[in-house]
Structure 1
């Protein structure tokens, strides 16, 4: 008998999933993660290759799965964005590819996207400025029936993700461009224009996860309005009479952005909208 041969009959020692999740929740809570249980479950589901809802059907982890899960939890405890660890970000009905160099879409932006979808009639031309991953543009393409969606982004890194995410939507056209260029998309007539620009005023403290987003996608000058001002002027140029614009902004811009739209003189029906917490989040208007 060869005593040096590997014993393949020995059962694999598996770890308790519930115990691993409990440990992860403690570690993530101590690191200041806002939703430790949710994050731990999403990381476990990612490692196991199942949906979060199906974790209830799993009771244990193989040694290699436990090792991967523990490593991911350690990274999340360093406040690496959850979406970077998963490689995707959920947005409305979409799973978008994300990673270093592109702004991770936030749940509050789903409100602006929803407003845009509601105002997109069949066959409409829709423009999404500062598109990033394409979250707004692709949601409109996915949930409405536009004739054309133009997603504009200037960052080379973000464009890489945008093009990959947009590949499944033939109606979406990706354009490399700077939204502060008054000649951008010259000659195009637009029905709906949407924009989630960089709008955080410089010097404003942000969560550690947001600090890992590209600064050019987060900060909008000393008052947070450096990009919003030219976006308003561009919207007035591109929109057909009766067309609509929606712009997300900082919760401190609840009066400033509506006032900028009114002061332009080319918009009516200027309306401020709050997010689910009651904070000012985006403003809409109609081209006169």
Structure 2
């Protein structure tokens, strides 16, 4: 107690108290989140604000300012899509298909998580990343600075330099794939605090994939690979749209993390009419 004013100083909540308050607010992983908040190094005042924001439904990753993905600690913040752990399958499969020294494009890159994780798994990649969100590209530049990636702001392939045409070995593409009519079913924190453009895939969730598949071959080397993450019920349709665009296509699912990846391989030889 302060003798000058007679008021007691609030004590800093411990992990158990933080977990109890988070649990009461409906946080499913209250204990894990409490541990991260308690060990964030925040001052008492900052911790109180962080707790209130989380209880109000703000994503924990936006509050902390980072997300762990594929063993990496990556910067992320308000208004930017938060990488999902299920996307590790896309990285794992891309690593199997990508040789050291390859040219890689992380399309719809968000904070650059896929490119960063692939660079951690495969040596000496020449990395490029693009996103329509300037905020996302800002975070991607920070997260990819150590691997000297080139980052671009714009719609899909539009901001890429023409010198990249025909040179890309692997395209990682975690495009929005939630059907528009299902957006209302997403968790509150995603619906309210992540940009709609990073979630809304149009009527069937595959609008952006169709646009990518239509234009990707012009940017790829013969035999290069394009990888999409999709929902389980979109698997067959996504394989078909890639085949319709001239790719050889197949898929892989991993039930433990609830994800499906569809791969398209560009033809080994580019028809003459596409080279003109």
Is the Cα–Cα contact under 8 Å of residues 25 and 37 in structure 1 kept in the other structure?
yes
C-alpha change, 1:70 and 1:206, in structure 2 (3 Å) is same
Aligned length: 259
Q: Aligned residue for 2:273?
A: none
- The runs of 4+ residues in structure 1 deviating greater than 6 Å are none
Offset at residue 180 of structure 1 (A): 6.4
2:230 matched to which residue of 1?
Answer: 249
Q: Which of the numbers 188, 213, 237 marks the counterpart of 1:208?
A: 188
Say whether residues 1:174 and 2:154 are aligned partners: no
- What is the root-mean-square deviation of aligned Cα atoms in Å? 2.6
Task: Return the alpha-carbon distance in structure 2 between the equivalents of residues 96 and 255 of structure 1.
Answer: 33
For residues 69 and 177 of structure 1, do their structure 2 counterparts lie closer, same or farther at Cα, with a shift above 3 Å needed?
closer
The match for 1:134 is 112
Q: 1:251 to 1:26 in 2, by over 3 A?
A: farther
Which of 53, 57, 74 is the aligned partner of 1:75? 53
Distance 1:104 1:261 in 2: 26
SS state of the match for residue 203, structure 1? helix
- 1:22 to partner: Cα distance: 1.9
- Calculate the TM-score normalised by the size of structure 1: 0.81
Q: Is 1:224 matched up with 2:205?
A: yes
In structure 2, distance between residues paired with 1:68 and 1:128 = 35
- Unaligned runs of 5+ residues in structure 2 are 268-276
SS of aligned partner of 1:254: helix
| Unaligned segments of structure 1, at least 5 residues | 7-12, 49-63
CA gap of 1:244–1:30, structure 2 versus 1, over 3 A, is same
Query: CA, structure 1 residues 272+247, in 2 after alignment: closer, same or farther (shift >3 Å)?
Result: same
Q: Max radius of gyration: which structure? A: 1
Which residue number corresponds to residue 235 of structure 1? 216
> Could you report, residue by residue, the CA deviation over 1:92-124 in whole angstroms, capped at 9, with x for unpaired residues?
132111112211111111211121122221111
